[in-house]
Amino acid sequence: MDWDQFDLNPKTIAALKKADIKSVKEILNLSGADLQRLMKLSSADIQCLLKTVSHALRRNSMLTALQLYQDKDHFTSQHQKLSLGCSVLDNLLKGGIPLVGITELAGESSAGKTQISLQLCLCVQYPYKYGGLESGAVYICTEDVFPSKRLQQLIDQQHKLRADVPAEIIQKIRFGNSIFVEQAADLDTFQQCITRRLSLLLARGMVRLVVIDSIAALFRCEFGPAESALKARYLQTFGAQLHSLSTRFRTPIMCINQVTDAVSESEAAQCSCRIMGSKVTPALGITWSNQLLMRLMASRTSLPTPSPGAASHCAGSMRTLSVVFAPHLPPSFCYYTVQLEGVKGVK
């Protein structure tokens, strides 16, 4: 660290170099008394040092809520969200997925979680005007093989799903080229993937969506009941790394999670998932829930399809997408079906 660039008096700079203090973090981690002892400076000098390095670290960091509200810039604005490609679903989420933070999509198998994720990988590639982020996506598979056939189907049918977008724009997008598929079946591979591959793709601006399908599978076999503390640490570390990447690159992280039967009523209640009367709880417990900005739950409903007589290409049984918690949304839900062209909300 080049201490000369800071607005400090030469005595302090010399003391910093002599005490071999290499970073602002080190300074802030030491107590006032330790700093005085290490650097042999007076308490007033230390206070001055702390203020100066704090100023340097936090220069220009204040915004008023009004400035946040009025910011319309594509990259920084809070109003910018990642659309799901369907106006009904976007309305449920008041625009779409927030760009900073980890969003979880939990649900039973065949509820449609992978379908929604694939759809997002296509939506992200559209221009800002159409709810996209003009960039690609990383899809990290942790258990199943990537559904390339289904992806191709969805690509072929984009013009049908996105009737709001002019055909020439859709034709210009090379959807397949911008989806990067990674396989990570265990924790070490996953760790490598995040720290190397993901950081690289994000730094180059090639992707602005990360999908992890699924986060639960990584932890299923590796930890016995006595290792819950170790499991919690892994969860917190991954959560923090993903959160940090998301913040730095303003990229939404979509984690798919499985559900398990709620062990007790009170556990189900604390994990906020009794809304639809379901007795399941997302896997990985409160440690993981604490890392999330938003939790969505996808489930199969027992309601019949709205128009049983009409032809539809897929077994269109009704599904439910619910907002379990989000800082900006009330608990709410909407219905959707999975069609050939993708996931569509039902009004």
Partner 1 sequence: LSRCRCIPAMQRELGTLPLAPALRARLAAAGFQTAQELLDTGPCGLSKEIGISREEALEALQVVRQECDGNAARPAGGPGATRKFTALELLEEEQTQGFIITFCSALDNILGGGVQLTKITEICGAPGVGKTQLCMQLAVDVQIPECFGGVAGEAVFIDTEGSFMVDRVVDIAAACVQHCHLIAEAQQEEDHQKALETFSLENILSHIYYFRCRDYTELLAQVYLLPEFLAEHSKVRLVVIDGIAFPFRHDFEDLSLRTRLLNGLAQQLIIIANDHKAAVVLTNQMTTRIGQSQSTLVPALGESWGHAATVRLILHWDNSQSNILMVLIQTQGFRIWWLSRKFLVLSAFF
Residues that bind partner 1 (CB under 8 A): 24-25, 28-29, 31, 50-51, 53-55, 57-58, 61-66, 68-69, 78-79, 94, 98, 100-101, 228, 233, 236-237, 239-240, 243-244, 246-247, 265-266, 268-272, 274-275, 285-287, 289-290, 292-293, 295, 324-325, 327-328, 330
* Residue 51, burial from CB neighbour count under 10 angstroms (0-12, 13-18, 19+): exposed
CA 193 – CA 200 distance, rounded (Å): 10
Shortest Å, Cβ 183 to partner 1: 26
Q: Among residues 92, 165, 82, which one has the least CA distance to residue 117?
A: 82
Decide the pairing of beta strands 136-141 and 179-183. Answer: parallel
Q: Judged by CB, which is closer to partner 1: 256, or 271?
A: 271
Shortest Å, Cβ 347 to partner 1: 21
Q: Judged by CB, which is closer to partner 1: 96, or 316?
A: 96
Q: What sign does the CA torsion over 280, 284, 285, 290 have?
A: negative
Q: Judged by CB, which is closer to partner 1: 210, or 292?
A: 292
Start-to-end CA distance of the chain, whole Å, equals 58
Q: Report whether 96 contacts 90 (CB < 8 A).
A: yes
Q: Report whether 253 contacts 120 (CB < 8 A).
A: no
Q: Judged by CB, which is closer to partner 1: 25, or 196?
A: 25
Shortest Å, Cβ 302 to partner 1: 21
The three-class DSSP label of residue 325 is strand
Give the Cα-Cα-Cα angle 125, 126, 131 (nearest 5 degrees). Answer: 115
Shortest Å, Cβ 18 to partner 1: 23
Shortest Å, Cβ 30 to partner 1: 10
Shortest Å, Cβ 105 to partner 1: 15
Q: Judged by CB, which is closer to partner 1: 58, or 149?
A: 58
CA 310 – CA 288 distance, rounded (Å): 42
Q: Judged by CB, which is closer to partner 1: 206, or 232?
A: 232
Helix (H) or strand (E) holding 20: none
